């Protein structure tokens, strides 16, 4: 069975005549009759009953012709799409930590896409371990994971084990972020002990995935679980910091205009924050696309601006 034979059968069914169908198809009647017999033999069914009145479709032939019509319609649709050249599908998928500079890089990247062509973008914020799994499973082509510099060896070993390529996207000293009305706001620099009576606000996806397998006294490293508020987005984190003056969060450095807009400030804190790394990851053997490189260019620009 081939596509041409399907067209022959549909033409005969439409005209009800072998001779008329052969005429419409610009071929000899004996050749058309032979093609239909070959089609019926390959399928093991009788598509047409031959009679003095012409070619009559059998019940099993009727069912076959319905499938044949659907097949040809799909083929014609594909041919129509690619007749003038295959359209460029602007597809981009990435999983990242909660980050102002990364989100802004993605927004600027998306504005540069060709709006006359199909666009399919996926931007999700998730913890480091989830992002690693998403990239490993090819659900996201790119990922950015964030971890404490003290855990570099653990994550590099994990990425090697998963067969992922990686490169540093950014390094920064984390900051303690709080409301300008926080009782500690007047201090030039704060120590970890100063935060003892404060409530930490943290992202639930990052908190749920411990940065290393080790736990101390059953608690997540770096968090006092007795004074903790978990959130899922940056807007909630900012609102809580602003309205609850007894809270703080450990975040990336933020530009002055953002801090001023939300009436926030940032402090260095020895022992609490420390250095963090953002690592760009993708599967080994994956070739970065033009869209990937366009996003990375924007990412580098926002990193220089913010970090």
Tokens found for residue 46: 């009788």
Q: pLDDT tens for residues 159-185?
A: 999 999 999 999 999 999 999 999 999
Average pLDDT, the chain: 89
- pLDDT band at 198; cut points 50, 70, 90: very high
The pLDDT tens digits of the residues spanning 104-159 come to: 999 999 999 988 888 999 999 999 999 999 999 999 999 999 999 999 999 999 99
- Is residue 219 predicted with pLDDT exceeding 80? no
102 pLDDT band, cuts 50/70/90, is very high
Nearest CA to 169 out of 128, 120, 223 is that of: 128
Four-way CATH pick for 90-306: 1.10.10.10, 3.40.50.720, 3.40.190.290, 3.10.580.10: 3.40.190.290
Asked if residues 12 and 4 have their Cβ atoms less than 8 Å apart, the reply is no
Q: Which CATH fold topology does 3-82 show? A: Arc Repressor Mutant, subunit A (1.10.10)
Domain ranges of the chain: 3-82, 90-306
Q: Mean pLDDT over residues 182-191, rounded?
A: 91
pLDDT value at 217 more than 60: no
**DSSP symbol at 112:** T
Cα separation of 172 and 253, whole Å?
8
The pLDDT of residue 149 is 92
Average pLDDT, integer, range 252-278: 89
**pLDDT value of position 221:** 46
Overall average pLDDT of the 203-232 stretch: 64
- Which residues of the chain form beta strands (DSSP E)? 48-51, 54-57, 90-96, 119-125, 142-148, 164-173, 175-179, 190-191, 199-203, 228-231, 247-251, 264-267, 269-270, 275-283
């Amino acid at each position: 069975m081939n596509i041409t034979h399907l067209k022959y059968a549909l033409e005969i069914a439409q005209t009800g005549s072998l001779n008329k169908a052969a005429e419409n198809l610009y071929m000899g009647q004996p050749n058309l009759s032979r093609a239909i017999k070959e089609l019926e033999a390959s399928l093991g069914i009788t598509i047409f009953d031959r009679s003095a009145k012409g070619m009559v479709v059998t019940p099993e032939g009727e069912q076959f012709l319905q499938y044949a019509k659907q097949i040809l319609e799909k083929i014609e649709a594909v041919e129509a799409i690619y007749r003038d050249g295959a359209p460029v599908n602007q597809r981009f998928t990435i999983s990242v930590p909660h980050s102002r500079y990364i989100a802004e890089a993605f927004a600027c990247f998306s504005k540069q896409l060709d709006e006359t062509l199909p666009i399919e973008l996926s931007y999700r914020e998730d913890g480091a371990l989830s992002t690693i799994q998403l990239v490993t499973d090819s659900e996201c082509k790119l990922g950015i994971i964030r971890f404490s510099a003290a855990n570099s060896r653990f994550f590099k070993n994990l990425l090697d084990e998963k067969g992922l390529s990686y490169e540093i996207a950014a390094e920064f000293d984390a900051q303690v972020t709080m409301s300008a009305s926080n009782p500690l706001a007047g201090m030039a620099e704060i120590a970890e002990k100063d935060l003892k009576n404060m409530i930490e606000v943290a992202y639930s996806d990052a908190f749920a995935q411990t940065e290393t397998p080790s736990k101390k006294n059953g608690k997540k490293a770096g968090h006092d679980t007795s004074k903790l508020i978990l959130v899922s987005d940056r807007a909630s984190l900012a609102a809580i910091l602003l309205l609850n003056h007894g809270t703080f969060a450990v975040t990336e450095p933020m530009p002055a205009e953002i801090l001023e807009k939300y009436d926030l400030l940032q402090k260095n804190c020895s022992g609490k924050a420390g250095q963090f790394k953002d690592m760009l990851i993708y599967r080994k053997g994956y070739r970065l696309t033009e869209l990937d490189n366009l996003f990375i260019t924007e990412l580098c620009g926002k990193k220089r601006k913010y970090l």
